[in-house]
Amino acid sequence: MKTDRKIIHVDMDAFFAAVEIRDNPQYKGKPLIVGGKPNSRGVVSTCSYEARKYGIHSAMPSYQAYKLCPHGIFVKPDFDAIKEASQIVRKIFFEYTDLVEPVSIDEAYLDVTENKKNITIATEIANKIKMKIFEETRLTASAGVSYNKFLAKIASEMDKPDGLVVIPPTKAQEILEKLPIGDFYGIGNVSEKKMIYLGIRSGKDLKERSLTELIKHFGKAGTFYYNIVRGKDNRPIITHRIRKSLGCERTFAKDISDVKEMLDVLEKISQKISSKMKENKFKAKTLTVKIKYANFDLVSRSKTLAEAFDKKDILFHLGRKLLLETLGPECKIRLLGLSVSNLVREGDKINDQQMLDFFSETELAMGDEEE
Amino acid sequence: MKFSIEKQDLQSNIQHLYNIVPSKNTMPILTNYLIEADEQKNLLKFTATDLEITVIVEFDANISESGKVAVSARNLNEIINSLPDSMVHFLIEEENLKINCEHSKFNLLCAENSQFPLIPQKDLSKVIELDAEMFKKMIDNTHFAVSSEINRPIFTGIFWNIAADQQFMVATDGKKIAEFKLINQVDIPEAVEQIIPTKGLLFLDKVISVDIPKISVLLESNRVMFSYGNYTIFTHIIEGRFPDYTKAIPLNNNNILIINKIKLRDAVKRVSLLASEDTFKVKFDVTNEKFMISSTKREEGEANEDLDDFKYNGEPIIIAFNYRYLNSILNVIESENIEIKMGKSNEPALFFNTEQNDKYSARFLLMPLRLI
């Protein structure tokens, strides 16, 4: 087991809301909800700590947030300002180490075991990063320091906002034993329910179970749970994630049933994805159409081709076919999306099969079929 | 409408029809069978269509009242299959189809039968007659090579060329080609070629049996009609020009391997157990003295098998194939031995029956996998 790594987890505090308050000081100290408008179908992206007191949280539908806090201030996120701040923060990380794993726009892990400034105490680095972030963006971040990713993340959450918590190996056991089972990394809603059913409510309960028992109930994940409750998490910092899919979707302001309108949107989405694929130099073999009906039923249909594609026409043609095949008559839908997966990058040599020339020389038929 | 028929009789007549009913309901009416009863002719007619292929089956029944109804194919199929071997009575009453058999009573809601697509008229006046068994053989020998890529539709069907003295079918997906030629005497003024969707041909492949030796065909510009026994099949044709695939077939493959087909198939089957799940790659390593097949599955293991009793005439060669494609060819080789003509490791290989037949001939091409 490695206890000699030094990992920092940095999490911006109520990031979208904080950016908004920084740029509009009149919102300070008020319940601010960043995300969709209350009369729209949007959801809450982030909210200020004042708004959280009303029980509002991210991903909650905006109209529900409005019910909880009608006098709240609802604003749309200022993506330009958010992106700018995020880039500044990321640049600060790289002043200390190249081992940075971005989790999302406002969160990252850093491995500072060896760092560019030769600082031996990770807490000192965490503190410097926090200060520098505030200096350059006027925003606060919470940091957690420990010897693995899981503990560093727990640490960063322990004293929000503007916190800095260190979990040394000597304190890890105590903290892990007290941790509610749902807060463990890798335990989602389903596993949490199963754990509770098995009488496991905290880290302490989990620790009492044998490895064999955990494997019996959770398969491979059992080993992971067994280790993690003992503070063992050897997951490395992944500096660049390999993209596995790319998608784009659109929620309509009003449910629509007009097929032509759907196809217009589908065409726009196809164009967007195609451009992004070309820009990032990859093709895909699988296309998935996602439809959310007015009653919130969600369906998706996929098609995989033998040859990887990136052209808008193919995306649209296939997407259209899948959409029309799926759609019942007079269906009302609220959301339409496309995504590509099974990605093939330039230089990938996954397909060893040689092809006859006349096949690839044959024009692709993109002609219209009957409606 | 009112008729009755033995369950087994009805079942055997409509058993293949369900394959035509589209599984995705773009047009709900297509999930129905159209049933027509003709009292005068005492003839019952079932129709299923997915708009591209229409299949009609006609057979005798005790009809006491003519009529027409569209009814859920799935429900009807499941009901018929579950009934005891006994007489089944059908009756339309107030837009419902009542099905009674012994003590079972079913009441099926009917669809609006006027919504059912217009079915073309069967026209036997200008048909040509073909040997049904040979027609089936052509399909068997080629259909496995069609492409499933919808963006190159011409390769999703079988190319059929028919002339007075010979006919052939070809299919390709760019990785393999299957060609089957037949010597015949057909009453046709000039050669006709069409690309026929596989679905309709596979339906025929299922229903053709030795009992009925002839199949009638009517080739039209936009569709083809087949008439075989009780069945009438209309299939649309795929528009487009089939490329000259013969250019891709090498003439100078001088590395010739002859081996017992079953021995080769069994060896490939064993070795393929440890073939890569991405490429399905098995490697042939052939010299005059030895013939070894091998495979490797990363992080799992490897397999190899030495074959004896083979004849090889040529340069030592290492060549790799997708074993699934290889199997699809081995499955249609009729002779005891198979002849494999290879060029270089990265060039197409050809596969033949070793015994020649004076009525027909088949040849298969398979593109190898890259050796890395």
How far apart (Å, rounded) are the C-alpha atoms in residues A96 and A7? 12
In a domain, B120, yes or no: no
Mean per-residue pLDDT over chain A, rounded: 88
Tell me the CATH number of domain A15-79, given options 3.40.1170.60, 3.40.50.300, 3.40.1190.20, 3.40.50.10420. 3.40.1170.60
CB contact under 8 A, B367 and A353: yes
Q: Which of B192, B226, B245 is the last residue of a domain?
A: B245
At residue A367, the pLDDT reads 41
Closest chain B residue by Cα to residue A370: B51
Asked if A354 lies within 8 A of B372 by C-beta distance, the reply is no
Interface residue ranges in chain A relative to chain B, Cβ cutoff 8 Å: 305-307, 309, 314, 317-318, 321, 324-326, 328-329, 349-362, 364-366
Query: Which pLDDT does position A265 carry in this prediction?
Result: 94
Is the predicted pLDDT of residue B212 greater than 60, yes or no?
A: yes
Question: DSSP states of A97-112 as a string?
Answer: -S-EEEEETTEEEEE-
Q: What is d(CA A355, CA A284) in angstroms, rounded to the nearest whole number?
A: 18
Q: Which domain holds residue B215?
A: 128-245
Q: How far is B26 from chain A (nearest CA, A)?
A: 6
Domain assignment present for B164? yes
Which DSSP helix (H) or strand (E) runs through B361? Answer: strand B360-366
Contact call for A356 and B177, based on CB within 8 A: yes
Interchain pair B248, A355: CB under 8 A: no
pLDDT at residue B298 in the model = 72
- Provide the terminal-to-terminal Cα distance of chain B, rounded to the nearest Å: 68
Interface size A-B, in CB pairs within 8 Å, comes to: 81
**Is residue B298 located within the same domain as residue B219?**
no
Interchain contact, B155 vs A306, CB within 8 Å = no
Residue B148 to residue A306, Cβ atoms within 8 A: yes
Residue B122 lies in a domain: no
> First-to-last CA distance in chain A?
62
Query: Same domain for B261 and B232?
Result: no
Q: Is the pLDDT of residue A121 over 70?
A: yes
The answer to whether B174 contacts A359, with C-beta atoms less than 8 Å apart, is: yes
B90 and B36 both lie in a single domain? yes
Q: How confident is the model over B220-277, as pLDDT tens digits? A: 888 999 999 999 999 999 998 999 999 999 999 999 999 999 999 999 999 999 998 8
DSSP one-letter code for A43? B
Same domain flag for B135 and B241:
yes
Chain A residues lying within 8 Å of B177, measured CB to CB:
356
pLDDT digits (tens, 9 = 90+) for A311-361: 999 999 999 999 988 887 778 999 999 999 988 876 554 568 888 888 877
The reported pLDDT for the residue numbered A369 is 36
Q: Give a yes or no: residue B371 inside a domain.
A: no
What's the pLDDT tens digit per position in A8-26? 999 999 999 999 999 999 9
Establish whether A107 is a catalytic residue. Answer: yes
From chain A, the residues in CB contact with B367 under 8 A are 353-356
Q: Which residues on B lie below 8 Å from A365 (Cβ)?
A: 151-154, 240
Mutation pick from B29, B146, B152 vs chain A, by most beta carbons of A within 10 Å, is B152
Q: Give chain B's domain count.
A: 3
Per cent of chain B over pLDDT 90 is 83
Query: Which of B148, B151, B245 is the closest to A358 by Cβ?
Result: B245
> How large is the average pLDDT for residues A146-166?
92
Angle in degrees, CA B75, B80, B81, rounded to 5: 100
Q: Please give, rounded to a whole number of angstroms, the shortest distance from the CA of A307 to a CA of chain B.
A: 8
User: Which chain A residues touch B28 with a CB distance below 8 Å?
Assistant: 329
Using the beta-carbon criterion (under 8 Å), do B279 and A353 form an inter-chain contact?
A: yes
| Selection from B122, B157, B135, B137 nearest residue B227 by Cα | B122
Span B355-372, pLDDT tens digits: 988 899 999 999 999 886
Q: What is the pLDDT of residue A281?
A: 81
Question: Does residue B140 have a pLDDT over 90?
Answer: yes
- Selecting from A305, A317, A353 the residue whose C-beta is nearest the C-beta of B369 gives A353
Region B181-207 average pLDDT: 92
Q: What is the mean pLDDT of residues B169-176?
A: 95
Instruction: Inspect the interface and report whether the beta carbons of A362 and B175 lie closer than 8 Å.
Output: no
Length of chain B: 372
Compute the nearest-CA separation of A363 from chain B (Å). Answer: 7
Do A354 and B369 make contact, defined as CB atoms within 8 angstroms? Answer: yes
- For chain A, percent of residues with pLDDT exceeding 70: 94
Q: Is B297 within the bounds of a domain?
A: yes
Residues B234 and B259 reside in one and the same domain:
no
A201-216 per-position pLDDT tens digit: 999 999 999 998 998 8
Minimal C-alpha gap between B155 and chain A (Å): 9
B240 plus B303 within the same structural domain: no
Chain B residues whose beta carbon lies within 8 Å of the beta carbon of residue A318: 150-151
Vertex A225: Cα angle to A147 and A227 (nearest 5) = 45
Band the pLDDT of A364: cuts 50, 70, 90. Answer: low
CB atoms within 10 A of CB A149: 24
Q: Do B154 and A362 touch (CB under 8 A)?
A: yes
B293 contacts: CB under 8 Å, gap ≥ 6: B267, B268, B271, B282, B283, B284, B285, B304, B305, B307
* Residues B248-271: b if buried by 16+ CB within 10 A, e if exposed: bebeebebebbbbbebbbebbeeb
Could you say which of 3.30.1490.100, 3.20.20.70, 3.40.50.150, 3.20.20.100 is the CATH number of the domain covering A241-370?
3.30.1490.100
CATH of the domain at B111: 3.10.150.10
Which one of B51, B147, B149, B151 makes the best mutation probe of the A interface by having the most chain A beta carbons within 10 Å? B151
Q: What are the structural domain ranges in chain A?
A: 7-13+84-169, 15-79, 171-228, 241-370
User: B interface toward A at CB cutoff 8 Å?
Assistant: 24-26, 28, 147-155, 172-175, 177, 240, 243-245, 247-248, 278-279, 281, 320, 322, 346, 348, 365, 367-370, 372
Residue of chain A minimizing CA distance to B246 = A358
| CB < 8 Å to B365, chain A | 356
A326 to chain B: which residues are within 8 Å by CB?
24
- Which residues in chain A are closer than 8 Å to B240, comparing Cβ atoms? 365
Based on the fold, state whether residues B341 and B361 are members of the same structural domain. yes
CA distance B27 to chain A (A): 8
Of B172, B348, B370, the CB nearest to A352: B370
CA angle B276/B281/B284 to nearest 5° reads 140
Q: Decide yes or no: CATH 1.10.150.20 for domain A171-228.
A: yes
Residues of A with Cβ-Cβ distance to B151 under 8 angstroms? 305, 309, 314, 317-318, 364-366
CB contact under 8 A, A365 and B248: no
Do the bridges between strand A164-166 and strand A141-146 make them parallel or antiparallel, or are there none, so unpaired? parallel
Same domain, B232 and B292: no
In a domain, B53, yes or no: yes
Q: Which CATH superfamily is domain A7-13+84-169 in?
A: Reverse transcriptase/Diguanylate cyclase domain (3.30.70.270)
Same domain, B279 and B329: yes
Q: Would you call B244 and A358 a contact, using CB atoms and an 8 Å cutoff? A: yes
Q: What is the mean pLDDT of chain B?
A: 93
**Cβ atoms within 10 Å of B213's Cβ, excluding its own:** 13
A280: pLDDT confidence band, cut at 50, 70 and 90?
Answer: confident
Q: Do A358 and B243 touch (CB under 8 A)?
A: yes
Q: Would you say residue B121 lies in a domain?
A: no
pLDDT class for B25, splitting at 50, 70, 90? low
Q: Contact at 8 Å (CB) between B126 and B111?
A: no
Q: pLDDT of B79-98, one tens digit each?
A: 999 999 999 999 999 889 99
Residues B107-138: tens digit of each pLDDT: 999 998 898 998 888 888 889 999 999 999 99
Residue of A nearest to B281 (CA): A352
Q: Quick check: B178 pLDDT over 60?
A: yes
In tens, the pLDDT along B301-325 reads 899 999 999 999 999 999 999 999 9
Residue A165: pLDDT over 90:
yes
Model pLDDT for residues A56-73, shown as the tens digit of each residue: 988 888 888 999 999 999
* Chain A contact set for B369 (CB, 8 A): 352-354
Q: What is the pLDDT of residue B299?
A: 67
Min distance A226 CA to chain B CA atoms (Å): 26
The residue from A50, A101, A107, A261 that is catalytic is A107
Quick check: B168 pLDDT over 90? yes
CB-based contact A356 B320, cutoff 8 Å: no
Complex confidence, ipTM: 0.78
Work out the pLDDT band at A363, boundaries 50, 70, 90: low
**Helices vs strands, H then E, count in chain B:** 6, 26
Query: Which run of H or E residues covers position A262?
Result: helix A259-279
Instruction: Examine the pLDDT at A151 and tell me if it is beyond 50.
Output: yes
Q: What is the pLDDT of residues A228-257, one digit of tens each?
A: 999 888 888 887 666 788 889 888 888 998
Whether pLDDT at A219 is above 60? yes
Give the chain A residue nearest B149 (alpha carbons): A305
